Chains A and B, each alone.
Chain A
Amino acid sequence: MGTPLAVLCKGICKRYPLFRLQDVDLSFERGTVMGLVGPNGAGKSTLLRIVMGLVGADSGHVEVLGHRMPAEQVAAKYQIGFVAEDMRLYEGQTIGFHMDLVKSIFNSWDDGYAATLLRRLDLAKEHKVKGLSHGQRVKALLLLALARRPNLLVFDEPTTGLDPAVRKEVLDEMMNALEDDTRSILFSSHNTLDIEQISDYITFLYGGRVVESRDKETFLDSWRRLRMTNPDHRPLPDLPNIREVRQSGRLCTVTVADYSDAIPGEFVGAGLRVDDIEALTLEEIFLSNVHHAKGLAKAEAAS
C-alpha cells in the first residue's frame, strides 16, 4: 500500500459564465509539495477553493486528507491551513486578536511556535492589521496558518506582490513547515521560481485544464531546447512533442516536451545539424506551454 494522498481530485468540472474548469485531475501524496502553475485566469484559485470546500464543483470527486469535500469540510479544515492572496484580516483588530481567535478554535495551536514565528517574521501581537503593509499581512496570515500545526497547507498566490526580502521569508517559512515529514503543501503561483524552489510535483493549468502534471525532476527533465543549423530550410520532422519552433536565418531553435534520446536523431535524419541540447528552466517551460496551449485553443476555436 502506498503513501496516503493529501489531495485527490478526479474529473473536476466547474462552469462560470465566462470560464470553466474542465475535467481536472490532481493528486499528490502526504508529505509532498504540489505547485500549481499557470497564467492569470487559468483556474488555480477556483481549483484551490474547490479543494477547500468553499466552492462546489459541478461534477467530479474531491478528497482532502481522506475527507470528501465539501461534505466533510469541517473535519478537513481542522487539519488545513489556508492562505490566499485576497484574504484579509479584521482591520481594526490586532494580530494578537486573530491569534486568540484561531487558538480558541484549534486545539493543535502551538503557543511556542507562534511566539517563534512572531519573532522570525518580525511581527508583534500588538500590531493593528490596519497599519500592516501587504508583506506583513501575508506574514500574519502565514503565522495564523502555521501555528495551528496543520497537516496540509494550501496557499493561493502567497508571494504575489511581495518584495524579494519578504518573499524569501515567506518561502523559508513554507520550507521550515516541511520539516514535519507528514505535512503537505498545495500552492499556486505564477512565479515559477517559487514553484521550482519548493515543489516536489508540478501541475500546469491553462484555460481551466491540466496541461501537464508530474514530479518536478521528470517535469524539468522532459523538456529540451535543441539549437540546430538548418541552412536549406528543410522541413522539420512531424513530431507531436514539438512545442515551439524559431527559425532565424540558418539557425533553428526547437523546444520539445517529452524529450527522449531518439529525438535528436529525428532531426539529423531530416537533414539538420544538432549543435546544442539545453535543459529549460521552469519559467521557460511555463512560457512555452502557454504559447503552445494558446495555439491549441485558437485551433480548437477555429475548427
Chain B
Amino acid sequence: MTDSIVPQLVRKDFLIWRRLILIFCSVSLACIAAVGLLHGHVPNHVMLNLGFTLLVTPAGTLGIVLLMQTNVFEKAKSTQLFIMSLPVTARRFTLAKLLVNVPVFGAVWLVTTAAAFAYTFGLGLLPPGAIPMMTMIFLGVFVAYSGILAVSLLSQSLGTTILAILFFEVGTSIYLWIVALVGPVGRHVFGPIAVWNRTAIAVVALQVLVAVAAMGTTLVVQTRRRDFV
C-alpha cells in the first residue's frame, strides 16, 4: 500500500488530457516557426508585437484551458467527488493538480520564452539593453499564470477564475508599464548592454517570490480546508 496516490492522480490527468496538451504544444511549435518566417517580411516593431502575441497566446491558452479542465470542471462535473472518495486529502489533491498544470505550462512557457529571446536578440530586433525588461515581461506571464492557478484551485469556481484571469492580465500589463517607466529599468532598454541594476534584480526576485508564494499559499490553505466537496 503506497501512502500517497499523488503520482497516480497526476498520471490520470496526463492520460485524460494528453491529446489537448499535444495539440497545444504542436500549435506552440508551429507559432514559433511562423514567427521565424516573418523575419525580413515585416518591419521589426511589427514582428515584435505579432511575435509576442503568436508566442504567448498558445501557451497562455493551454495554461488556462488545462486548469479549467483539470480543476474547475472536475468540481462542476462531480468527478472530484469520485477522486476524493479515494485515499487522498485536499492538500494532496491540490498538489496533484499543481504537478499536472505547472510542468505543462512551465515547459511550454520556457520554450516560448527561449524562442522569444532567440528571435529578439539573435535577429537584433532589440538591443541587449532590453534583456532585463524582456525577462520581466515573460516572468510576468508566469506570475499571472501562477496567480490565476492559485485562485482557481482555491475557488474551483468558473466565475472567480474568469475574474482572476481579467485581474492578472490587466494587473500584469499595468505593473510592467510602471516598471518600464521606472528610471533605473526603463532608461537602459535601448542601451547596448544588459544592465542588471538593483531595481531590475529586485523586480525579478519579487516576481519569482510571488509565483512561489501563490503556489505555496494554495497548498497551505488547502491543508486547513475542512469542506472539500
Contacts and interface: CB of A to CB of B under 8 A. Distances in A.
Do the two chains bind? Answer: yes
9 contacts: A54-B81, A54-B84, A54-B85, A54-B228, A56-B227, A77-B86, A92-B16, A105-B86, A141-B82
A56 B8 CA distance: 25
A84 interface: yes
A93 interface: yes
A73 interface: yes
A36 B11 CA distance: 37
A49 interface: yes
Name, among B79, B86, B228, the residue most crowded by chain A CB atoms within 10 Å (CB to CB).
Answer: B86
B77 A91 contact: yes
Interface in B21-54: none
Interface stretch (A96-104, A209-217, A276-284): A96-104
Interface string A121-143: 00000000000000000000100
B79 A56 contact: no
Main secondary structure of the interface of B (DSSP, over half): loop
Nearest to B5: A105
Contacts of A87: 78, 81-82, 85
B79 A74 contact: no
A97 B229 contact: no
Contacts, number: 68
A78 B227 contact: no
A104 B78 CA distance: 21
B-side interface size class: 20 to 34
Given A102-B86, A107-B1, A93 B81 contact: no
Contacts of A75: 87
Nearest to A141: B82
Contact of B87 (A49, A77, A88, A141): A77
A82 interface: yes
A56 B84 CA distance: 14
Interface residues of A, number: 31
Interface in B73-125: 77-79, 81-82, 84-89, 92
A77 B15 CA distance: 24
Interface in A68-118: 70, 73-75, 77-78, 80-84, 86-93, 97, 101-102, 104-105, 107
Nearest to B227: A55
Interface string B2-17: 1101001001100110
A52 interface: yes
A82 B87 CA distance: 11
Contact of B85 (A56, A77, A90): A77
B8 A74 contact: no
Q: Top 3 nearest A-B pairs by Cβ distance?
A: A56-B226, A82-B85, A77-B87
Contacts of B228: 54-55
Contacts of A56: 226-227
B229 A88 contact: no
Contacts of B2: 105
A77 B2 CA distance: 13
A122 to B, nearest CB: 21
B179 to A, nearest CB: 43
Contacts of A97: 15
Contacts of B82: 87-89, 141
Given A52-B84, A81-B85, A87-B82, 12 more contacts: A52-B85, A54-B228, A70-B89, A74-B87, A77-B85, A77-B87, A78-B87, A87-B78, A87-B85, A90-B16, A92-B16, A105-B8
Name, among B78, B82, B92, the residue most crowded by chain A CB atoms within 10 Å (CB to CB).
Answer: B82
A170 B53 CA distance: 54
A78 B89 CA distance: 12
A93 B11 CA distance: 14
A241 B84 CA distance: 43
Contacts of A105: 2, 5, 8, 86-87
A91 B74 CA distance: 11
Contacts of B229: 49, 54-55
A54 B11 CA distance: 23
A98 to B, nearest CB: 8
